[in-house]
Chains A and B, each alone.
Chain A
Amino acid sequence: MPDLTELITWEVGFFLLALFAIVAVQILTGQISTKGLLMKKEADRSFSPERVQLLLATLAAAFAYLAQVLKDPTHFPQVSQNWLLLFGGSHAFYLGRRFYLRRPAQPKDS
């Protein structure tokens, strides 16, 4: 009979990986809709650079952190100030741009 802690480890590991795999596969096959992920929600629905930079910053921060954890999983690694600034700045830019674009256009004087 397997040890209880080993059983729980396998159980949680399987659940997390299966959930991650299902979501990843459904995104890649288009079952989870990604329509307009990098498009502006406002006005003309054109390509949105602020969304691209947010996505890149998120992926970079996520991979960097996961790599640190995999390197030494005995404790949570500290997040450096630079990563926090980069991440915070990226989000601030994204939200600032969204807020700016949502303002109604000023009527032109004829």
Chain B
Amino acid sequence: MTTTPYLQFLELLVGYLVCGIVALFALLVIWKIANGTIDLTHLLADDDGWASTSRFQLIIFIFVVALSFFLVVVSNVKMRQNATSLTDLTGLPDVPGGVLALLGISASSYLVSRGISASTNGDNADSSTKDEKK
């Protein structure tokens, strides 16, 4: 299929426009986090206000996988720009099962940990209610 120069220009224009809007949102979020409007004080804290190790490890893994994905995509884009044949460089890169397993372990550990905390708090609340009734 051939595209006219007019359509190509429009495609490029929309691309730059979307890129600009996303950049504005990104800058806004970064600015609001930096000046404290978006408060991250309790990013690692559980319901009791104490920092949670499971939350911390999940954050570390999300950062690592996000950064890895970004680096792989950038590398693929560069290869694609230099390549003559595009047969095996189309679309997003495949994420291997091992990475999904690591993220799965990390996220489920966080969830189970939250479940244990919730049930402990529930038990404590039950026992305090019983004490009050006595």
Binding site for B on A (CB under 8 A): 4-5, 7-9, 11-16, 18-20, 22-23, 26-27, 31-39, 41-42, 51, 54-55, 58-59, 61-62, 65-66, 69-70, 73-80, 83-84, 87-88, 91, 94-95, 98-99, 102, 104
Query: Would you call B116 and A95 a contact (CB within 8 A)?
Result: yes
Interface residue count on the B side (C-beta < 8 Å): 62
Which residues of chain B come closer than 8 Å to A59, judged between CB atoms?
60
Query: Would you call B93 and A75 a contact (CB within 8 A)?
Result: yes
Q: Closest CB of chain A to B53's CB: distance in Å? A: 4
Query: Would you call B53 and A73 a contact (CB within 8 A)?
Result: no
**What CA separation (Å) do A84 and B105 show in the bound complex?**
9
Contacts A34-B44, A39-B50, A88-B105; A5 near B72 (Cβ below 8 A): no
**Residue B57 contacts which of A26, A58, A83 (CB distance < 8 angstroms)?**
A58
**What CA separation (Å) do A87 and B85 show in the bound complex?**
39
A-B contact pairs, 21 of them (CB 8 A): A8-B19, A9-B77, A11-B19, A11-B26, A27-B44, A32-B43, A35-B49, A37-B50, A38-B53, A58-B57, A62-B60, A65-B64, A66-B67, A69-B68, A69-B72, A73-B75, A76-B68, A79-B101, A91-B105, A94-B53, A102-B120
Which residues of chain A come closer than 8 Å to B10, judged between CB atoms?
none
| Chain B contact residues: helix, strand, loop or mixed | helix
Cβ < 8 Å to A, chain B residues 83-114:
93-96, 98-99, 101-102, 105-106, 109, 112-113
Binding site for A on B (CB under 8 A): 12, 15-16, 19, 22-23, 26, 30, 33-34, 40-46, 48-54, 56-57, 59-61, 63-64, 66-72, 74-77, 79, 81, 93-96, 98-99, 101-102, 105-106, 109, 112-113, 116-117, 119-120, 123
Query: Would you call B76 and A74 a contact (CB within 8 A)?
Result: yes
Contacts A16-B70, A31-B40, A34-B44; A74 near B79 (Cβ below 8 A): yes
**What CA separation (Å) do A38 and B69 show in the bound complex?**
30
Contacts A66-B68, A69-B68, A74-B79; A98 near B116 (Cβ below 8 A): yes
Q: Closest CB of chain B to A27's CB: distance in Å? A: 8
